[in-house]
Amino acid sequence: MPTEPLIPADLRAFLKSTARAVLSTCSVAPGAACGSGVNTLGFRAITPGGYAAVWIQDFTMNFSSGLLAREVGRNHLRLILAKQNGEESKALGRGVIVPPHAIADHINLNGEPVFFPGTYDPVAHQEGAWGFRPPTNNYYDVIWLAHMLATSGHAPALLNESVNGKSVFERLQLAFGVPEIDPVTQLVHTTAERRAVGFIFCDSIVMTGDLLMASLLRHRAAGHLAAFAQVLGRTAEAEVYTALAAQIAQNILPVFGRDAQSGGWLKAATEISGQPDVWGSMYAIYRGIIQGEAKAQLLRTIGQALEKDGEIEFQGALRHVPVSLSASATSAWERTATPGNRYQNGAYWHTPVGWLLAILKDAYPEHAHAIRDRWLAHLQAEQGRVWECIGWGGSANQNAGFAPSVTLPLGVLG
């Protein structure tokens, strides 16, 4: 007897309708105003919703939904690569550096690249509050965007296309080489003095050491570059990227999963803010990096947490750190300026729910269906509002038009 699909046709249609509606509010036509700016990019720009700029990771997540035209994705890819930093580093004061070939964190609607979170000012002196180097995820997300565009025979033409004198493939390779890594493990590594945010959805959290989510994104990007090199007939380079991906994969569990304080979860970082990482643990399984008994044990850890009301999940939304394993009574993370149980420090987010449903549907189908039902009931009750994060009696609810909360899950679930 065939099993019930996780997302039946009628619910899938509802998700797509919700996603299309919120994406329409994120769309800024040429010449139109958004926030205090005007879109002078020359094409329809897609913001995350609630933020008046093009964010690299958020746009890529939105594009993964399959609801944006290929030309929209191509316009944004060219924009991101055109605003890539040049051959020289830029000093923004107090040790804050934009390295050569850096990818912007976001791009203002007037075309100004901004390399750090927390500001729309491209030359802001932030004194390292949002890192001393640009966020790492953006290097890997622009590669993901190119990978989604390089389909149906488009790959050679896209990868060979010139952007400011360099091919798309060359620019992606240069971007991949910017983040600092541990040369032995190939994991993304950052220090207090040269700190880079690893993952935008933790950009208000101070983390140092090896970084889990950033390393998982690097693994994904290495696989994409290997595929690009193979398409272009550059077999030796393809083999290098394939070997890098394998090296990253074999080090994830030994580095992030061997801490008695993690409660069975993978930890987010190996130094500051090395708390148990709900999102990273789910994504490592989703990416197929955790296998065998280790996967089974991690799934049991997730399943047990889901049986505790609010421990990691509320109305289908996920917390970054399990409540019972928070760093302290007032903060989920060891170091952050964000108040406890707010935003990235303890609110609940729908952005990663697709990963959770995807990894639970076979191992824990009852949990998967229950979480799906709570998520869809929440969306239906909100009548078009798609929150960036929610929770704690509504006091953590923030930004009611945030597209990745529904577009990324839709992209994962199909």
Q: What is the pLDDT of residues 332-388, one digit of tens each?
A: 999 999 999 999 999 999 999 999 999 999 999 999 999 999 999 999 999 999 999
Residue range 228-248: average pLDDT? 97
Q: How confident is the model at residue 126 (pLDDT cuts 50, 70, 90)?
A: confident
Highest average pLDDT, of 3-7, 260-264, 342-346, comes from 342-346
**C-alpha–C-alpha distance, residues 231 and 225, integer Å:** 10
Please report, for residues 65, 245, 344, 359, 376, the alpha-carbon distance to residue 52 in angstroms, rounded to integers and kept in the order given: 21, 35, 20, 34, 28
Residue 154: band (very low, low, confident or very high) from pLDDT cuts 50, 70, 90: confident
What's the confidence (pLDDT) of residue 5? 81
pTM of the full structure: 0.97
The reported pLDDT for the residue numbered 262 is 67
Q: What pLDDT score was predicted for residue 1?
A: 35
Residue 312: is its pLDDT beyond 90? Answer: yes
- Of 127, 296, 280, 297, which is closest to residue 213 (Cα–Cα)? 280
What average pLDDT does the segment 25-52 reach?
96
CATH of domain 9-413: 1.50.10.10
Domain boundaries, the chain: 9-413
Taking residue 167's Cβ as centre, other Cβ atoms within 10 Å add up to 16
154 is written with which tokens? 């488009």
pLDDT digits (tens, 9 = 90+) for 157-187: 999 999 999 999 999 999 999 999 999 999 9
- How many DSSP H helices and E strands does the chain contain? 13, 15
